Amino acid sequence: MITSELILNILLILIVAWILGSFFTRFGLPAMLGELLAGIILGPSLLGLISASPGLELMAEWGILFVMFYTGMEMDPKELLEHIWPSLSVALGGFILPFVLGYFTCRFFDGTVYQSLFVALGVSITAIAVQSVILHSMRINRTELGHIIIGAAIADDILSLIGISIMLGLVKTGTVAFVSLSLVIIKVFAFFGITILLGHFVVPRLTRKLHDREGKAFTFAIIAVLVMGYLAELAGLHLIIGAFLAGQFVRKEIMDKKIYEAISDRFFGLSYGFLVPIFFASLSFHLHFSHEWSFMMFAFILTLVAILGKFVGCGLGLTLFGHRPWASAIVGFGMNGRGAVELVVATIVMNLSNKLMASKSISEPLLTQNQFSALILMAFVTTLIAPITLRWAVMKSCSPDEKATFCNLWESGGH
């Protein structure tokens, strides 16, 4: 429901995010840094003028849905398929190494086996929506490395889904539920199978008949987003994967160029101009700080191993395919952004933990409040530093002695 309080909150977020975002873009940094800072200033961490609410959370979710659709429109599906093996290698390296490091870090700080497993899963996740915003702002979303990063982020999401399915089965039954896990894998394959069929046989026939009178082309795009998002949810994946694949269908190769540009402009304005600032600001509302020395040490080391694990794991995964060191560094830094996905996973685990504790099925929580807060803080810090470190790596690779394919795009963007 739209209330005067919600309108005022949105107004404050947009004004402060616009001012701070403009400040960061002057230095060649993404506006998302200003949007995150706007959330810190306005949220519970500092002034306390705005806090998380159902209305803002809903708008933030629409924001990442639209931005993923726009990302799908901008990227070439053939390029994604061409780089599928490097993407899978990057995803595996960037999932396994942070998982192992996160597990032993939590164990070192007296976490139980289950607590350490769930913390490790949170550390190993990459937020595809955050990656798409960063890559677009750096103007490298259409390059080879951009396609590898997005492909790896999608694979990472599937690995996370399988991981949480295994661990939830362990908690509930004490064993790996192979039947449930097999069902998860079958649903994922079925989802991508249906996606391919729709993309090749159904959507092209519809897009050829589209017109832009009364915004009907935009209506079709919204329908595509919702249908694919719903199918992704049925498969157990996040709906943003469905939105991304819907964007792959609605692309200029299979529709009238003017209609494509009209749809693209509308989604770009709605997402980057309106809803994405709310999404990044709302991430900051979930920050919780504790002045206990043990918490600060745990949060610091967990964030450090999360950054190093992704950087080394993803970088090594790309190096296996003969890429140069700076390319591996760009992918390693590019995969480091987390976001709302950790919050969703951690919330699911916390809710299950409370339910099992109430029924006395378990004696220790699956996640403590400090562990939950450390995960959210880690997600925020990695989201904050990902574009900064990525920009540094891009600038180094675009130096006279190290020229990469995306350097022309980078330089043409005024960076």
Q: Which residues contact 4 (CB under 8 A, 6 or more apart)?
A: none
Domain total for the chain? 1
Residues of the chain with pLDDT > 90, as a percent, come to 19
Give residue 68's pLDDT.
Answer: 83
pTM, two decimal places:
0.77
Q: Are 279 and 63 in contact (CB under 8 A)?
A: yes
Give pLDDT tens digits for 310-353.
999 999 999 988 888 888 888 888 888 776 666 667 767 777 77
Decide if pLDDT at 99 tops 90: yes
Domain hosting 35: range is 4-412
Rounded Cα gap, residues 329 and 254, in angstroms: 35
Return the DSSP state at 288: -
Rounded Cα gap, residues 373 and 176, in angstroms: 28
Decide if pLDDT at 409 tops 70: no
- Per-residue b/e over 349-377, b at no fewer than 16 CB within 10 Å? bbebbeebeeeeeeeebbbbebbbbbbbb
Return the DSSP state at 198: I
- Rounded to the nearest integer, the mean pLDDT of the chain is 81
Give pLDDT tens digits for 376-396.
888 888 888 888 888 888 777
Amino acid at 107: R
Give pLDDT tens digits for 253-310.
556 777 788 888 889 889 888 998 998 888 788 777 777 888 899 999 999 999 999 9
Give residue 7's pLDDT.
Answer: 93
Question: Which one has a higher pLDDT value, 27 or 414?
Answer: 27
Query: DSSP labels for 9-69?
Result: HHHHHHHHHHHHHHHHHTTT--THHHHHHHHHHHSTTTT-S----HHHHHHHHHHHHHHHH
Which CATH number is 397's domain given? 1.20.1530.20
What's the gap between Cα 274 and its chain centre? 18
Amino acid at 59: M
From residue 28, how far is each of 23, 155, 179, 301, 394 by CA, in Å? 9, 30, 50, 29, 12
Give residue 358's pLDDT.
Answer: 80
Question: Which one has a higher pLDDT value, 203 or 49?
Answer: 49
Give residue 406's pLDDT.
Answer: 58
Closest CA to 60 of 213, 277, 222, 248: 277
Return the DSSP state at 290: -
Rounded Cα gap, residues 99 and 103, in angstroms: 6
Q: Which residues contact 203 (CB under 8 A, 6 or more apart)?
A: 224, 249, 250, 254
Give pLDDT tens digits for 161-194.
778 777 777 776 666 556 666 777 788 778 888 8
pLDDT mean over 369-379: 84
Amino acid at 38: A
* H or E segment and range at residue 332: helix 325-334
Q: Which residues contact 242 (CB under 8 A, 6 or more apart)?
A: 225, 227, 228, 229, 230, 231, 232, 233
For the chain, counts of helices (H) and of strands (E): 19, 0
pLDDT mean over 27-35: 80
Rounded Cα gap, residues 126 and 229, in angstroms: 19
